[in-house]
Chains A and B, each alone.
Chain A
Amino acid sequence: SQKIEQNSEALNIQEGKTATLTCNYTNYSPAYLQWYRQDPGRGPVFLLLIRENEKEKRKERLKVTFDTTLKQSLFHITASQPADSATYLCALGAGGYQKVTFGIGTKLQVIP
Chain B
Amino acid sequence: EAQVTQNPRYLITVTGKKLTVTCSQNMNHEYMSWYRQDPGLGLRQIYYSMNVEVTDKGDVPEGYKVSRKEKRNFPLILESPSPNQTSLYFCASTDPSRTREGYTFGSGTRLTVV
Interface set of A (CB-CB < 8 Å, partner B): 32, 34, 36, 41-47, 49, 89, 91, 96-105
- Is there contact, CB below 8 Å, between B106 and A43? yes
Q: How many A-B pairs fall under 8 Å by CB?
A: 60
- Is there contact, CB below 8 Å, between A98 and B56? yes
Complex A-B: 7 CB contacts under 8 Å: A36-B102, A41-B108, A41-B110, A44-B43, A44-B90, A44-B103, A102-B42
* Residue tally, chain B, CB below 8 Å to A: 29
Q: Mask for B83-112, Cβ within 8 A of A = 1, else 0?
A: 000001010101010011111111110100
Known A-B contacts A49-B102, A98-B56; the reply to A43 vs B107 at CB < 8 A is yes
Residue B45 is within 8 A (CB to CB) of chain A in the complex: yes
- Is there contact, CB below 8 Å, between A46 and B31? no
Kindly list chain A residues whose C-beta atoms are within 8 Å of the C-beta of B110.
41
- Is there contact, CB below 8 Å, between A89 and B42? yes
Name the distance in Å between A67's Cβ and chain B's nearest Cβ: 20
Counting from the closest, the 7 A-B pairs by CB-CB distance are: A43-B105, A46-B102, A104-B42, A102-B43, A34-B102, A97-B31, A44-B105
